[in-house]
Amino acid sequence: MEECPGEIIALDGKTARGSLDRKNDKNPLHMVSAWACEQRLILGQKATDDQSNEITALPKLLKLLVTFNNTSAGRGLCSIGMVERECTQAGSTSIEQRYFISSIKPVAPLFAKAVRSHWGVENPLYWRLDVVLGDDACRIKKDNGAPILTRLRHLCMNLFEQKPSKMSLAKKFRKAAWSDHFRSQVTFP
């Protein structure tokens, strides 16, 4: 099988459910992130506009990544793929289709590897944001509090991910809270 050249970047969105503000009739914050699958780093994020979906934030996030990488937008895009997933739970079957735009060659095993890598965003990123950092439990709604805290959580995950250790993310966070020395090693490597 041909290897994927370079890093697979997954673009995916997550809603901070705790930021829903019924009192002021405001939707919850929905942030689209660019996740480097192998490096396990968040490369960028953009909030969706109110009353919108991920489609409006994706071009802005791609532009941010392109500006950061100093390359031309859209250059090298050469394939579109679709994955169909069938799921049966409690006797009810649902079929879901997902579409991918890619810069990899249209070769099935290569595409499958990229799709599996993209699904890695669910556990290494979203699960840890929710379970370890309490992203969905956070009830901050005022002004720019929710997007600021989301970006700080992403920054913290990036910093702790770069600190080589066999400790889990939760243990790294606790150790940083207790140890000035460890916290300074993580913050200023």
Domain boundaries, the chain: 9-139
Neighbours of 186 (CB within 10 A): 19
User: How confident is the prediction along the chain (189 residues), in pLDDT tens digits per residue?
Assistant: 344 456 778 888 888 888 888 888 888 888 888 888 888 888 888 888 776 778 888 888 888 877 665 554 455 667 778 888 898 999 999 998 887 777 778 888 888 888 888 777 777 888 888 888 888 888 887 888 888 888 898 888 889 988 888 999 899 989 999 999 999 999 887
Q: Specify the pLDDT at position 1.
A: 35
**30 vs 14: CA distance, rounded Å:** 6
pLDDT of residue 126: 84
Single-letter amino acid, residue 34: A
The residue written with tokens 């090298």 in the block is: 76
